[in-house]
A and B are shown apart, each in its own frame.
Chain A
Amino acid sequence: MKSSLDFEQIDRFKEDLDKCTKCGFCMSYCPVYQEERVESSVARGKIMLIRALLDGELEATDEMAEQLNRCTLCMTCAENCPAGTNVPSVIAAARADKVRLKGLSFPYSIIYRWLLPRRRLFGYVVRLASWFQGIFLPKTEGSIRHLSFFLSALGKGRHIPQIAHKFLRQSVPEINSPPAGVEVKYTVGYFTGCMTDFVFPELGEKIINFLTRNGVEVVVPRGQGCCGAPVFLGAGDFDTGRKMADVNVKAFKELDYIITDCATCASAMKDYIKYLADNEERKREYAEFAGKIKDITEFLVDMVKLPPSAYRVAGEFKGKTVTWHEPCHLGRYLGVKEQPRKILQSIPDINYIEMPDADRCCGMAGTFSIYFYDLSRKIADKKVASIKSTGADIVVTDCPGCQIQLIDSTTRHGMPQKVMHIMELFE
């Protein structure tokens, strides 16, 4: 029998574990269950596995890890659970305890412990991967992928844009002031995230231009790193995650607002306090940090309160039909549901159409899509059907992770839709 010490992280979420009454409502909401139709996919099954782990009935084996990892952490079960069970929290905690007990397996130990926390080096490795992407094409058989896939998943094999020739941090200054004559209403820090930095730097430039034009001074702190989501939420490495959190807290210390264009980064950073605060000082710092974070659409609608006329649609997108994919991390984690829709509905130059199940998970879920690429694709196929049914010309979203998944899946289906970040619509 394991002592409770072995599962100190799970223990912190014991209340969530105890709440589940096994009613099985989660079956109707779980995107993984809907593909697999096995009980181990769904929240109820995962809760029962973790309970068995705590009771000593089952052990922290690789099979157990595989079962628990087969979750996109989309939070749909938690949002709809009549008993209020939050399974994603327990799963994230269980991953952390597994890492503490067994360590990270190679090659993830290299990537998570060593590479992701070193922002510059990570950039070089990503670049290197982009050169070797022909060699590292993803294979779709089997469920566990390794280093080559991890890096090539960012490359050509998945029908995504190439790694940028010039990263965002190399092309914009640290302080970006509004043009002469425009009054400074806010000064914000811009957390660029890995995807915008390495893959979509032009999005970052657009956001900076948009904000400065509308009276927001944008600081891009050079000290910022990866948000840590793949490390502490995906892989359960809380120790490394904590180091990454501290780096970001320090980088944005002097700023009152932190703007993000990636819902995953924003929610992961807001969750530092939930998972990583191991002492009073960190609790205080992480709470303060979380309070500053605003998604870009949330900031524009709730704080800057821009009029519809400020959203000047770029010429090439005028008159187009646009639909919206709501990222899990935006809607269910951050509670930002109305703001992007308000923007889209208010612009006269586009025709906005809501897709069915706009808030359904796209199946990307970061490292989930690397471990379970086939499953991830099947979940994406449902999203693709929703997109198709709208007949839209453009799909916009607010998470570069979702964006990569949507580009990959629409391309796979030979669909004409252009996939973009919502902020790319504008001049």
Chain B
Amino acid sequence: MLNSKHIDQLRRIVGKENILTSKEELLVYSYDATNMWQHLPEVVVLPSNVEQISAILKLANENLIPVTPRGGGTNVSGGSIPIKGGIVLCTTRMDRIIDINKTNLNARVEPGVVLQDFQAALAEEGLFFPPDPQSFSGCTMGGVVAENSAGPSCLKYGVAKQYVLGLEVVLADGTTMKLGGLTPKNRTGYELSMLFTGSEGTLGVISKITLRMLPAPKATRTIVAVISDVAVAGETVTEIIASSVLPSKVEFVDNWTFEKFRGLLPDEILDKSQVILLIQVDGLPETVDAETQQVVALCKSRAGEVRVAEDQAETDRYWQARAAHFSDISSRAHTIINEDICVPRDKIAEFIKLGQESAKKYDVPISFAGHVGDGNFHPVVLTDSRDKEHYQRSLKCVEEIIEIALSLGGVLSGEHGIGLEKQRFLKKAMDPAAIEIMKKIKDVLDPNHILNPGKIWEETSDEE
């Protein structure tokens, strides 16, 4: 495994200012934004270019040293935790936006560019990259692709994979491979870029990304509806979309996290409500006006309060309150179990109802929030891992909720990925034959299993 000779070699590859070895520096790469997991790496390297990534991987592969790729470390399924120790390969210092081409509607970036910085640079050009995970202020583009990230805007615009035109990837043995191209259409061979998109760092390290852009919508408007009952909120969403309006975002926040909306919405309505729906429509100004009216009319029949944000400042306040949800709910309990299921849209109300019944059965508090427009929910069970009995009940409840989602035709993870957190459910959620194929692909691309080992599927004893 890793020894001081390897550290010296790594130091020569990345330079002394780009290698971290002290206990303190290692500790801060032992976690990501996932609640329960932590494991120390043995060294952290911050490469500056693709040649360095290649040299690091070659060294690791020859010496069978685990390598965990990492960007901003905002993952919520444990994907960036170095569960086997070894090297953390952190791309945050490869943070160049190489170019933004308005005519071709594409952009090339290094993996360490922070999503928010990228969005800001695009906005200056009147362009738009829709995936907007709520970790946008810290997450990096390499992670956005490797996790196939999504977010509120994906209801109308789709997830990260729909925007990947090409990738430069370094394989486990150090080989650098260019995939895809600059054009929106490309039918050359297998769609290998898609293999690495959503691969959670287990197949290669992404060193350059070419993305498709959209022109930024000319107008947007945010509508807020406060609804007394969870199931009614679910029906409202189903009805809005059935009425041929496709909002860019439909978000759902339950009363566990109303605090952030206090002062923005009337207390007396919030006090007797269970759900806030945040709906955004976008497009040409005329379309936005018409769709706003339609959404408001549909919401009014069910909501205690319906508001249309009057200006950008008000709009920002609503969305900031929404973005704070994960952190807010995390701070309400010692331990949270945050799930990420996705159900077909017409099953939303049923899913919530059954989920609440399950929480009642196991007597654990549960909060629902998420991108309800596309059926992607983040049910959060609030517990305390120190209270074994409560924690066990919570785990059982979560398991049941996942089963409910699967039985309704849903999936295990809408956008967070499997990582460490959801491995134990994978067998239930994926065809065993497909799991076998994934393992075979892994064997081809990373025969020594050095890349982000211990992730996605549970290891059998002979793999360890």
Contact = CB atoms under 8 A, between A and B. Distances in A.
B74 interface: yes
B106 interface: no
B330 A83 contact: yes
Interface string A71-85: 000000000011110
Given A24-B73, A39-B73, A67-B24, A48 B327 contact: no
B183 interface: no
B179 interface: no
A167 B245 CA distance: 71
B92 interface: yes
Interface in B5-52: 20, 22-25, 27-35, 46
Nearest to B76: A23
A231 to B, nearest CB: 25
Given A24-B72, A25-B137, A40 B28 contact: yes
B429 interface: no
A82 B137 contact: no
A64 interface: yes
Interface in A20-58: 21-29, 37-40, 44-45, 48-49, 52, 57-58
B84 interface: no
Which among A25, A57, A58, A83 has the highest number of chain B CB atoms within 10 Å? A25
Contacts of B243: none
Interface residues of B, number: 38
B303 interface: no
Nearest to B329: A21
Interface string B74-109: 100000000000000010110100000000000000
Given A52-B27, A81-B327, A28 B137 contact: yes
Contacts of A40: 20, 24-25, 28
A57 B93 CA distance: 28
Nearest to B93: A37
Nearest to A46: B28
Contact of A24 (B22, B35, B138): B138
Chief secondary structure at chain B's binding surface:
loop
A19 B331 contact: yes
A84 B331 CA distance: 9
B135 interface: yes
A26 B328 CA distance: 14
A48 B74 contact: no
B135 A49 contact: no
Contacts of A29: 137
Contact of A58 (B27, B32, B46): B27
A38 B21 CA distance: 13
A316 interface: no
Interface residues of A, number: 29
Contacts, number: 95
A196 B436 CA distance: 72
Interface string B315-358: 00000000111111011000000000000000000000000000
B324 A48 contact: no
Contacts of B23: 58, 63
B109 to A, nearest CB: 15
A84 B328 CA distance: 9
Contacts of A21: 33, 35, 326-327, 330-331
B330 A23 contact: yes
Contacts of B27: 48-49, 52, 57-58
A120 B268 CA distance: 60
A21 B323 CA distance: 14
B24 A28 contact: no
Contacts of B331: 19, 21, 83-84
Contacts of A82: 260, 323-328
B93 A22 contact: no
B135 A39 contact: no
B24 A23 contact: no
Contacts of A49: 24, 27-28
B166 interface: no
Nearest to B325: A82
Contacts of B72: 24, 27
B33 A37 contact: no
B28 A23 contact: no
Contacts of B92: 37-38
Nearest to B75: A24
Contacts of B135: 23-25
Contacts of A39: 28-29, 73, 90
B31 A22 contact: yes
Contacts of A67: 24-25
Contact of B32 (A22, A37, A38): A22
B31 A38 contact: no
A21 B331 CA distance: 6
Contacts of B448: none
B114 interface: yes
A83 B24 contact: no
A354 to B, nearest CB: 15
Contacts of A57: 27
A282 to B, nearest CB: 31
A302 to B, nearest CB: 22
A37 B72 CA distance: 9
A28 B30 CA distance: 20
B373 interface: no
A24 B74 contact: yes
Contacts of B138: 23-28
Nearest to A59: B23
Given A21-B330, A23-B327, A28 B114 contact: yes
A45 B33 contact: no
A61 B27 CA distance: 14
Contacts of B131: none
Interface string A342-385: 00000000000000000000000000000000000000000000
B417 interface: no
Contacts of B22: 63
Contacts of A25: 135, 137-138, 327
Interface in A65-98: 67, 81-84
A28 B25 contact: no
A45 B27 CA distance: 8
A184 to B, nearest CB: 41
Contacts of B453: none
Interface in A94-123: none
Nearest to B260: A82
B24 A58 contact: yes
Contact of B33 (A23, A64, A81): A23
A262 B22 CA distance: 38
Contacts of A22: 31-34
B327 A27 contact: no
B385 interface: no
A38 B330 contact: no
Contacts of A63: 22-24
A40 B21 CA distance: 12
Nearest to B30: A48
B142 interface: no
B39 to A, nearest CB: 13
A69 to B, nearest CB: 12
Given A38-B20, A52-B27, A83-B327, A27 B95 contact: no
A67 B324 CA distance: 27
15 contacts: A21-B326, A21-B330, A22-B31, A22-B32, A22-B33, A22-B34, A23-B33, A27-B137, A28-B116, A28-B138, A37-B112, A40-B25, A63-B22, A82-B260, A82-B325
Given A21-B326, A24-B74, A64-B24, 11 more contacts: A22-B33, A23-B33, A23-B138, A24-B138, A25-B137, A25-B327, A26-B138, A38-B46, A38-B90, A38-B92, A63-B24
When A and B form their complex, which 8 residue pairs have the shortest distance between CB atoms, in order from nearest?
Answer: A28-B137, A82-B324, A21-B330, A82-B327, A27-B138, A45-B28, A24-B138, A39-B28
Interface of B: 20, 22-25, 27-35, 46, 72-74, 90, 92-93, 95, 112, 114, 116, 135, 137-139, 260, 323-328, 330-331
